[in-house]
Structure 1
Amino acid sequence: MSTTGTRATSAILRTATGREATRWVAAHTREVPWLTSAGVLTTVAGAALQVVPVFVLGQVVDGVVEGGPRSVLVTVGMLMVAAALLGSATIAASTYLIGRLGADLLAKLREAAVQAVLGMPSARIEQVGRGDVLSRVGDDVAVVSKGIRTAVPTVFSAGVLVVIATIGMFGLDWRLGLAGAAALPAYWLALRWYLPRSAPLYQKQREAQADRAQALISGLNGIGTVRAYRLENAFREQVTSESWRVRDLGVEVFRFFGRFVGRENRAEFIGLVLIIVVGYLLLEAGAVTLGEASVAPLLFHRLFNPLGAIMFTFDEAQKSGASLTRLVGVLGEAAEDRLVGHAAAGSADAGPYRVTVEGLTFSYPGSEHPVLLDVDLVIPAGGSLALVGATGAGKTTLAALIAGIGTPQAGSVRIGSTDLAGLDEAGVRALVSILTQETHVFSGSLADDLRLAAPEATDAELMDALRTVGAEPWVAALPDGLTTMVGEGGERLDGTKVAQIALARLVLGRSPVVVLDESTAEAGSQGAAELERAVSAACLNRTTLLVAHRLTQAMAADRIAVLDAGRVVEQGTHDELVALGGRYAQLWRAWQDGS
C-alpha cells in the first residue's frame, strides 16, 4: 500500500545522515547545560591529573642527576599518590556524568522513536515490514544503549587525554611535541581508511539483521498457513539464509577491523621511534634535560592506551553511530509523513458525515496495472454501502483508501467537506475507524483492552459498549468481569467473542465514519447472525462502508456497489440489482446455490 509523502516507493524506513544525527544529539545536550558542562569539566580535569605523575617523574630524574636531597622523593611520592587518588575520583565522576547524560539522551531518543513509529501511517508500516520497524526500536536501541555505556565515555575521555598529553609534549620542547605529533597523521590515515569503508559495512550488517527479523516474523505470523502447505522447510531455509548473511557480514567486519588494528600499531611504532630519536639528539645538544627527554616517550607511551581505546572502541562506536542514524531517521520520516492539515472531527459539524469518492485510481508500487480505476461512490450521511465482488476485485484496497490508509495516484476521498489527503494520521483516525478480519486481543485486562479505543472511558461506558454488541452476558460470566485477564496467558476467547470486543472498541471510538472489511468473517457460521446484529448496533447513526463477506450482510445495507477488476460496474439496492440480472444477480444465485 502506498504511503503519504514523497517516499512511497521506499522499501525500508529512512536512515538519517551523520550530520543529522549529530545535530539531534547537540540539540538535546543543550537542554541540560549543567550536566553537559560538568561532564566536560570533570573529563578535562581527570585527563590532566593522569599526566601529572609523568611530569613529576621527570623532576625525580633531574633531581637524581643533580644530586638533590632524598627528601624530595617523599614529596614527589606524596604528590603522585595525591594526583592518582584525585584523578581516580575525577574520572569516576566524569564517567558517571557522561553516563547519565547518555542515558537521558537514550531515553528521549527511545521515547521519540517509539512515538514516531506508533504515529506512522499504517500503510508505511505495511510497506517496509515489521522486521525493519522492530529492529530499530529493539536492536538499534540496544546497540546505542551499549555504545553509550562503553564507547562514548571511552572515546570522549581518551580524546581529551590525547589532547592534554600532546600539549604537554609541546610544553617540554616544541620539537618533542612535533615528533609526537608526527604520529598523528599515521593515526588519521588509519581512521581515514577505516571510517568510509566501515560505515556502509555496519549499515549492511544492521539491514541484514532487519531482514532476518522480518523473515522470522513472517513465518511466525503465518504459522498456520506454513503448516497447512508444508512450507516449514522453505521458511527454515529462508531464515537460515538470512542468518548466514548476518554471520558472513560479521566475519567481514571482524576481518576488516583486524586490518585497521595493524595500521594503528604502525602509527604507534612511528611515533615512539621519532620521539626517542629526537629526544636523544636534543639531549646530546643540551637543549633538554634527561628528565624532559625521559618524560616525552613516557607521555607518548601514555597515549598508547587512550589512542588504542579510541581505535578499538571505534568498532562499537561505528555500530552505535549506524544505529543512531537509523533511529534518528525514523524521527525524520515521521516528520516527512506528517502533513500540514490537521482538520479533525472536532472541527467539523456534529453528526454523521457523507463520504464521497471521486475518480479514485490506485496502483501498488512496481505494478503496471491499477487495482482501482476511476472509482466514484457516494455514501449518504448516516447511510450504509456494501462492497461486493470476486476475490481480487479491489474491495479491500478501496476500503483501506476510504479509511485513509494509503494515497491514491488520482482522485480523492472526502469525509464531509474534508479531503483525507490533507490530514495526518490522527486527523484521519478522528473521522474514520476501520475494522478488519485481523482482530486482536491484547494481553491484559478486558477493561484495558477496551480502553485502547477510549482511554478515559468509565467501567459503565465499557459495559454499555459491550451491551450494544451483545457481549454483556458472557462478560458478566467471567471470573473477574472487566478485570479478567484476556489475550496471551489469559481467558481463552473464541472468534465470536474476539469480534465482539473489536466491535465494542468501535463503539467506544465514536468516529462518525466506519469501515468494516470482512470484520466478522472469522467468527464461524454459528456466530454469524449474532455478529451481524452486533455490527448493525455498533454502526447505528454512523456512515458505514461494509466489505461484505456474506451476501446476507450486503442485503442489510442501504445500497450495494459491485466491484469488478477495479471498477464499479453496478450500484443499487439488493432488490434492484437482483432484478437487473447483472453481475450481482450472478453472485446472488451462486450464493444461494452454495447455501
Structure 2
Amino acid sequence: MSTADTRVAPATLRTATGGEAAGWVAAHCRRAPWLTAATLLTTVAGAALQVLPVLLLSRVVDGVTGGGSRSVLLTVGVLMVAAALLGAVATAVSTYLIGRLGAELLARLREGAVRAVLGMPSARVEQVGRGDVLSRVGDDVAVLSKGIRSAVPTVFSAGVLVVIATAGMFGLDWRLGLAGAGALPAYGLALRWYLPRSAPLYRKQRAAQADRAQALISGLNGIDTVRAFRMEDAVREKVTRESWRVRDLGVDVFRFFGRFVGRENRAEFIGLVLIVVVGYALLEADAASLGEVSAAPLMFHRLFTPLGAIMFTFDEAQKSGASLTRLVGVLGEPAEDRLVGEVSVAPTGAGAYPVTVEGLTFSYPDTEEPVLREVNLSVPAGGSLALVGATGAGKSTLAALIAGIGTPQTGAVRIGPHDLAGLDEAGARALVSILTQETHVFSGPLADDLRLAAPGASDAELMEALRTVGAGEWAELLPDGLNTTVGEGGERLDVTEVAQIALARLVLGRAPVVVLDESTAEAGSEGAAELERAVLAACSGRTTLFVAHRLTQAMAADRIAVLSAGRVVEEGTHGELVALGGQYARLWRAWREGS
C-alpha cells in the first residue's frame, strides 16, 4: 500500500473570496431574469419617486417668490403627494421582491452547501471537525437568512436611493451637485478604511463561533467519557475560553463599527457645509434660483436617511457577506465522484466478509505522534470484535479507518478480498456501514427517511426492518403509518426511537460489515436494554466491530481488543482477559465496583 498523499488539506473548510461570492450571486440572478429585472425596476422607481417631491419643492418655492398662480401650486402639490404615495408602494413592492429573490438564492445556496457536505469524502469531514461543518450549514445559513430579510433589502434600496438623490442634486444645478459631491472623498476614505479591515474581522468572528460550536459538540458527544474521567472542569474551561473569544471579537466589531460611523458623520458635515456655502454664493451672484438653492440642502439631507440605514445595517450586511463567502466556499470543496454504488464482487456465504487490519499506522495532519502504531487485527466473517481502551487510545480512529474514513500512512485494511485504499467512497459504503451516536431524523415522511439507505425498498421491507430493531409496534401506531411526517415539524420521536430508525437504515443498507461507535450511548436510560437488543438484531449475520464505551458492550462481543496509546496490548474473550489480570481486568474491576 502506498503512503498517503503528502499534501495536507486545510484544517477548515474553504472560504470563498468576495469576488467569488459576488460571481455566484450574479450567476444565480441570471437564472431568474424576470424576477431580477422586476426587482431592479421597482427599486429604481421607488427611489426616483422618493426624490421627486424634493425636486418639486424647488418649483413651489420659485412659484411663491415669483408670484405664480395658485393652480400651478396646487398642481405641484398634488404631484408631490402622488409621488410620495406611489414611492411608498414601489418601495414596499421592491422590498418584497428583494426578499423573494434573496430567499430563492438562499434556498439554492443552502441546498448546494448541504449537497457539497454530503458529497465530501468522510475523511475531510472528520479532518475539519463537525463544528465547522455544522456552523456553515446551520449558523451561517441562519445569519444569511436574517440578513436577506432585513439588512440586504435595506442596503440595496438605500444604495439605489443614494445614487438617484445624487443625480437629483446635479439636476437642480451642476454646481450644487459638485458641492455635494465634495463629500464623496470623505465617504470614500471612510469606506476605504473600513471595508478592508471589517471583512476579515467578521470572518474571524464566524470562525471563532465555529470553534465554540466544535468545543460544545465534542464535550456533549463524549459526555459519558468526560464524566467517567472527571474531565468536566477541563471541558468547561475550553468552552468558556472559546465563548470569551467570541464575546471579545463581538466587542471589537462593535467598537470598530462605531469608529466607522464617526467618519461617516464627518463626511455628511463636509457635504452639507459645502452645499450651503456654494448655494449662498450662487444666490448672491443671482446664478441660481431660491428654489434650487433651498432644495439642494434638503436633497443632500435626503441622503442622510439611506446612508444612515446603510451604516446601521452594514454590520448585519457584513455578517451576511462573511457567511455568504463561507457557504460559497463549501461549494468549492472537492467531492467524491460517486456517492452511492456497488462493489464488483458480491458478499459470499451468509452475507458477511472477514475484516483484516495489517500493520496499520495513522497520524493526523500537523501532529508528530501517530494515533495508531502497527495495529494488527482480524475479525472472522460474521464475528464481532469490541475495541476497549481509555480516552485517546485510538478506538474511534481505528473504527473510522476500518469504515474507510481516512487513509493510513502505512498498513492496510481489507474487507474480504477488497483493500479499502483501492475503493472510492461508494465502494467503501457498499462494504461497510458505520453508525455513531450522532443519529439524525430528517423532516419528512418516515418512509423517505428509511429509504435513504435503500431507495428501492418496498413498504413491506421498511416495516420488516423496523420490526427487526424493535420499532414495529410504535411505527404501526403512527397516524399515517410510514407516510407520517417525522423530524422537525412532524411526529415527535424520543432518543430511543431515533436510534431505532438509524438501526433500521443499517438493516436496509445490507452492508456485510458494520462499525458501531457509541451507537447505543443512551445505555443507562430507560431504553438502554431495548437498544442493546436492537443492535444485536441489526448486526445479525454481519461482521461487527464495536467501539465499546461500556464494558457490557464488550462482553457481548466474540472477542475484545484492548488499545493503549495506539497499540493493541491485549486481545481475547471476556473470560480470557479477566483471567489474564492485565489492563482489561483492571478496567473490569473498576467498572464493576463503580456499578
TM range (shorter): 0.7 to 0.9
Q: Which residue of 2 aligns with 1:185?
A: 185
Please tell me whether the aligned partners of residues 503 and 538 of structure 1 are also in contact (alpha carbons under 8 angstroms). Answer: no
Whether the 8 Å contact between 1:372 and 1:566 is mirrored in structure 2 is: yes
2:592 alignment counterpart: none
Q: In the TM superposition, what is the alpha-carbon distance from 1:222 to its structure 2 partner?
A: 4.1
Pair 1:400 & 2:419 matched:
no
Going from structure 1 to structure 2, the CA distance change for 1:193 and 1:78 (only over 3 Å counts) comes to same
Q: Deviations over 1:64-89 (max 9, x none)?
A: 33322222111111111121122111
> Distance between the aligned counterparts of 2:187 and 2:376, measured in 1?
67
- The Cα offsets for residues 183-224 of structure 1, whole Å up to 9 and x where unpaired, read as 111111111111122222222322333333334444444444
- 1:48-197 alignment, distance < 5 Å: 48-197=48-197
Alpha carbons 1:466, 1:501 under 8 Å: kept:
yes
The structural deviation recorded for 1:33 is 0.7
Deviation at 1:37, TM superposition (A): 0.6
Q: Which moved more, 1:439-448 or 1:261-270?
A: 439-448
SS of 1:361 mapped into structure 2: strand
CA distance in 1, matches of 2:500, 2:106: 40
8 Å contact from structure 2 (residues 121, 336) kept in 1: no
Q: Which residue of 2 aligns with 1:16?
A: 16
Q: 1:339 aligns with which of 333, 336, 340?
A: 336
Partner of 2:248: 248
Q: Partners in 1 of 2:567 and 2:27 — Cα distance?
A: 51
Distance 2:474 2:19 in 1: 59
Amino acid at match of 1:428: A
Calculate the TM-score normalised by the size of structure 2: 0.78
Residue 480 of structure 1 pairs with residue 510 of structure 2:
no
Give 1:41's aligned amino acid: L
What amino acid is aligned across from residue 344 of structure 2 in structure 1? A
1:515 deviation in Å?
3.8
Which residue in 2 is equivalent to 1:350? 346
Q: Deviations over 1:386-437 (max 9, x none)?
A: 587876775653332121111223455566786645665445323321246x
Q: What per-residue deviation string (whole Å, max 9, x for no partner) do you get for residues 145-184 of structure 1?
A: 2211221111111111221222222233332222111111
Q: Cα distance 1:590–1:79, how it changes in 2: closer, same or farther (>3 A)?
A: same
CA distance 1:513–1:9, change in 2 (3 Å): same
Paired residues of 1:165 and 1:303 also in contact (CA < 8 A): yes
Q: Could you list the per-position Cα deviations for residues 42-78 of structure 1 after superposition, in whole angstroms to 9, with x for gaps in the alignment?
A: 1111111122112211122222333222221111111
Task: Identify the residue that residue 581 of structure 1 maps to in structure 2.
Answer: none
Letter of the structure 1 residue corresponding to residue 255 of structure 2: R
Q: Does structure 1 retain, via aligned residues, the 8 Å contact 2:342–2:427? A: no
Q: 1:151 to 1:516 in 2, by over 3 A?
A: closer
For residues 460-510 of structure 1, the C-alpha deviation after alignment (integer angstroms, 9 at most, x for no partner) is: 32454466x6x56x95599939879999975785xxx99887655433111
1:273, CA displacement in angstroms?
1.3
Structure 1 pair 83–245 and aligned structure 2 pair: CA distance change class (3 A): same
Equivalence map 1:202-351=2 (5 Å): 202-227=202-227, 235-333=235-333, 336=334, 338-340=335-337, 342=338, 345-346=341-342, 348-351=344-347
RMSD: 4.5
Could you tell me whether the CA contact under 8 Å between 1:387 and 1:563 is conserved in 2?
A: no
Letter in 2 for 1:170: F
The letter for the 1-side match of 2:342 is G
Return the alpha-carbon distance in structure 1 between the equivalents of residues 314 and 538 of structure 2. Answer: 62
Q: Secondary structure at the match of 1:434?
A: strand
* C-alpha spacing 1:326/1:522, structure 2 compared with 1 (3 Å): closer
2:431 pairs with 1:431: yes
8 Å CA contact 2:144, 2:320 repeated in 1: yes
Change (3 A) 1:462 1:80: closer
2:358 pairs with 1:361: no
For 2:302, give the aligned amino acid.
Answer: R
Amino acid at match of 1:460: A
Match of 1:286, SS state, is coil
AA aligned opposite 1:304: F
CA pair 310-7 structure 1, distance change in 2 beyond 3 A: farther
1:140, 1:326 within 8 Å by CA — same for their partners in 2?
Answer: yes
Using the alignment, how far apart are the partners of 2:69 and 2:533 within structure 1? 103
Identity over aligned pairs, percent = 71
Residue type at the aligned position of 1:14: R
Deviations 1:302-348 (A, max 9, x none): 11111222222211111111122222223323xx2x134x3964362
Q: Distance in 2 between the 1:143 and 1:520 partners? A: 34
Closer, same or farther: CA 458–251 of 1 in aligned 2, 3 Å:
same
After TM superposition, give the deviation of residue 11 of structure 1 in Å: 3.9
SS at match of 2:514: strand
- Three-state SS of the structure 2 residue aligned to 1:346 is coil
Aligned residue type for 2:159: G
Superposed displacement of residue 130, structure 1: 3.5
Give the Cα–Cα distance (whole angstroms) in 2 for the partners of residues 41 and 196 of structure 1: 31
CA contact (8 A) 1:344 1:428 kept: no
Q: CA deviation at 1:356?
A: 6.9
Amino acid aligned to 2:346: A
Amino acid at match of 1:316: E
Determine helix, strand or coil for the equivalent of 1:511: coil
SS in structure 1 at match of 2:253: helix
Distance 1:131 1:264 in 2: 37
Distance 1:240 1:547 in 2: 30
Residue 98 of structure 1 and its aligned partner are, at CA, apart by 0.8
For 2:342, what is the secondary structure of its paired residue?
Answer: helix
Q: Is the 8 A contact 1:50 1:83 kept in 2?
A: yes
Deviates more, 1:195-204 or 1:185-194: 195-204
CA change 1:397–1:449 in 2 (3 A) is same
User: Does the C-alpha gap of structure 1 residues 282 and 142 become closer, same or farther in structure 2, counting only changes over 3 Å?
Assistant: same
1:23 and 1:168 map into 2 onto residues whose CA distance is 31
Q: Deviations over 1:328-371 (max 9, x none)?
A: 223323xx2x134x396436243347867666431123432334
Aligned residues: 563
User: Is the 1:388–1:554 contact (alpha carbons within 8 Å) kept by the matching residues of 2?
Assistant: no
Mapped to 1, the partners of 2:317 and 2:64 lie a distance apart of: 45
Distance (Å, rounded) in 2 between the aligned partners of 1:479 and 1:23: 50
Task: Kindly state the Cα deviation for residue 562 of structure 1 after the two structures are TM-superposed.
Answer: 9.5
**Counterparts of residues 24-39 of structure 1 (less than 5 Å):** 24-39=24-39
Distance 2:232 2:544 in 1: 40
**Which structure 1 residue ranges, 5 or more long, are not aligned?**
579-583
Are the aligned partners of 1:504 and 1:538 in contact in 2 as well (CA < 8 Å)? no
